[in-house]
Amino acid sequence: MKEFSDLPIGIIDSGVGGLTVMDELLNRMPNEQFLYIGDDARCPYGNRSPQEVVKFTQELISALNEFGVKMVVIACNTATAFALEHVQPMFNFPIIGVIEPGARTAVKKSVSKQIVVLGTSGTVKSQAYDHAILALSPDACVHGLACPEFVPIVERGVYKLAEADQVVEKTLAPLSSETFDAVILGCTHFPLLSHFIRKHLPAETELITSGSATADTAIHILDELQLHREASTKRISTFYTTGNPAHFALIVKDWLHIADPVVEKLVL
Ligand code: DGL
CATH architecture of 2-97+212-265: 3-Layer(aba) Sandwich (3.40)
Domain boundary assignment for the chain: 2-97+212-265, 99-210
Q: Report the b/e string of 87-122 with b at 16+ CB within 10 A.
A: beeebebbbbbbbbbbbbbbbeebeebebbbbbbbb
Protein residues whose CB sits closer than 6 Å to any atom of ligand 1: 13-15, 17, 43-46, 76-78, 120, 123, 151, 187-189
Residue 150 and residue 147: Cα distance in Å, rounded? Answer: 6
Structure confidence by residue, pLDDT tens digits, 200-247: 999 999 999 999 999 999 999 999 999 999 876 788 899 999 999 999
Q: How much distance in Å is there from the Cα of 121 to the middle of ligand 1? A: 10
Residue 169 and residue 247: Cα distance in Å, rounded? Answer: 26
Percent of the chain topping pLDDT 70? 99
Pairing status of strand 95-96 against strand 71-74: parallel
Ligand 1 atom at shortest distance from the alpha carbon of 47: 9
Structure confidence by residue, pLDDT tens digits, 64-122: 999 999 999 999 999 999 999 999 999 999 999 999 999 999 999 999 999 999 999 99
Q: What is the pLDDT of residue 2?
A: 67
Residue 230 and residue 228: Cα distance in Å, rounded? Answer: 7
Q: How much distance in Å is there from the Cα of 112 to the middle of ligand 1? A: 28
Structure confidence by residue, pLDDT tens digits, 164-173: 999 999 999 9
Residue 76 annotated as catalytic: yes
Equal fold, 2-97+212-265 vs 99-210: yes
Q: What is the pTM of this model?
A: 0.96
Q: How much distance in Å is there from the Cα of 45 to the middle of ligand 1? A: 6
Concatenating the DSSP letter of every residue in 128-143 gives HHHHHHHHH-TT-EEE
CATH architecture of 99-210: 3-Layer(aba) Sandwich (3.40)
